[in-house]
Structure 1
């Protein structure tokens, strides 16, 4: 991609990492499904669900730009050693000054998209949105270096978006929704685990003590496997219906991907495993959402 012009639309699309948006979409899909199940088609409030989806997308893009910018400043995106996808600042696709402006704009747009949710969920939506923005920055700058990224995924890609979407779309919250949100966060964490598994050598060199660096590659492989399986079991128990057997499709795909991950172990081929994991995660979201609506 040597023909990417600096600060061009294509450069910004690459920096936004559109493939990562599945991680933002899945929890909102599940939350909206619970709201639809409770309210029915005639009383389901589609506007707040749509706002939640747009807010999630913009926050994901904002997080990607923040990650690109601060990792570049720390020297973590060295093009000579990096095996993950190329990053905009390190490749010169986007200048540092332009990236700072991009982060400001995406942060403001995220806030503006989330602000109308006050009309549907009350003033408590303000601190929730503020925390999303705060931890968007803290993840890359501090918490990922302490191995706390997996905790943030569970909270901000599971509990918060699933419960928030269900609440603003139908004014409901329940233990069933909470447990389902935890299962969702666990599934999405598989994406972070394989990402950190791929980067474990570079992270160890840079002093980035991710969970994978702390526990080692073998335990990380087992963690990846059991995250997907445990999430499937939790969600199947919650649903408690014959339709939950459809989750076997996701579990089978997940096990196959785990085997490919172990066989690959190192190198750029793990980028392919990352893509397959994202696909599996999206399939999980579709299956769970469909079961919730139909049960």
Structure 2
């Protein structure tokens, strides 16, 4: 594998649809509210992609350093695990990507039409996002190893991702948008939960105590069903509260893909779960795109 291909592999491009979903939802909400700052929208996308790549690099580094990737892992072989990159190269990548994410995020805040108080708040959220991406699996006590990854994903890929994007793109805040932000958050946690169910046995051996390790596979599947159901209930709740036209319910066309995800999880063996991660990430992106289509038509 060439060095370039190794970096592309380490960046895990298949995770980007999920990362983009929260920004797109924020952008579509801004469109529905009648105002979109195009430059801020593009910078929000760039910043989100950089944060996702940073998280992937950090996850590759942290799991390799802790030994989780050295034996028993079910998913695709990672860059460090496969010997395609060195620890030194990955440390340099972590620093560079963190710096680029900070510069992009700061540029976003500078072009956004928001008051000073909001700017400072979002700057703090951005810095926390960078720290959270790194410390998920890196450090003396990474929070991803004590079952807190789900909460972090819900916050940064749901609440902060959608509400923050909407705020910098539109310049306003609407509390009812929390429902759609939560919806994206639940689906994002669902992808993480699938990842953790897939790696359950290896994580158990290496003391990576994710929620599926604590719950066991059967209860982790039930948890997955609760996550996806909650995502749909919060989305429907938002639209019933903000009903203007039946077109805004076009997003329900994505429902069969989520049902399929649950059905396959229930029937699949441990080593056959990996394709469901990509399937749920793409289903979430479709869910968001259909929201945008509904608002455009309406």
TM-score (norm 1): 0.92
Q: Does the Cα contact within 8 Å between 2:20 and 2:45 map onto a contact in 1?
A: yes
**Equivalent residue, structure 1, for 2:87:** 96
Shift of the alpha carbon at 1:278?
1.7
Alignment of 1:124-273 (within 5 A): 124-141=121-138, 142-240=142-240, 241=243, 242-267=246-271, 269-273=272-276
Tell whether 2:29 aligns with 1:38.
no
**Equivalent residue, structure 2, for 1:276:** 279
3-state SS of the aligned residue for 1:39? coil
Tell whether 2:76 aligns with 1:72.
no
Deviations 1:23-56 (A, max 9, x none): 110000000111112134xxx2111111111000
CA distance in 1, matches of 2:131, 2:30: 27
Q: Does the Cα contact within 8 Å between 2:239 and 2:249 map onto a contact in 1?
A: no
Q: Does the Cα contact within 8 Å between 1:167 and 1:173 map onto a contact in 2?
A: yes
Distance 1:89 1:262, change over 3 A: same
CA distance in 2, matches of 1:293, 1:205: 50
Q: Does the Cα contact within 8 Å between 2:251 and 2:288 map onto a contact in 1?
A: no
3-state SS of the aligned residue for 1:77? helix
CA-based RMSD of the aligned residues comes to 1.5
Shift of the alpha carbon at 1:291?
2.9
After alignment, is 187-196 or 242-251 more displaced?
A: 242-251
Shift of the alpha carbon at 1:294?
4.2
Deviations 1:71-102 (A, max 9, x none): 11111101x52210111011111111111111
What is the number of residues matched between the two proteins? 285
Deviations 1:238-283 (A, max 9, x none): 112433543433222111121111111311x211122211221111
Q: Does the Cα contact within 8 Å between 2:249 and 2:294 map onto a contact in 1?
A: no
Deviations 1:167-210 (A, max 9, x none): 11111111121221111101111100111011111111111111
Consecutive unaligned residues of structure 1, counting only runs of 5 or more, are: none
Q: Does the Cα contact within 8 Å between 2:18 and 2:282 map onto a contact in 1?
A: no
After alignment, is 196-205 or 234-243 more displaced?
A: 234-243
**Equivalent residue, structure 2, for 1:11:** 6
After alignment, is 240-249 or 10-19 more displaced?
A: 240-249
CA distance in 2, matches of 1:76, 1:13: 21
Q: Does the Cα contact within 8 Å between 1:236 and 1:244 map onto a contact in 2?
A: no
3-state SS of the aligned residue for 2:21? helix
Q: Does the Cα contact within 8 Å between 1:66 and 1:137 map onto a contact in 2?
A: yes
Shift of the alpha carbon at 1:293?
4.3
Q: Does the Cα contact within 8 Å between 1:179 and 1:234 map onto a contact in 2?
A: yes
CA distance in 1, matches of 2:252, 2:31: 24
Distance 1:166 1:226, change over 3 A: same
TM-score (norm 2): 0.91
3-state SS of the aligned residue for 2:10? helix
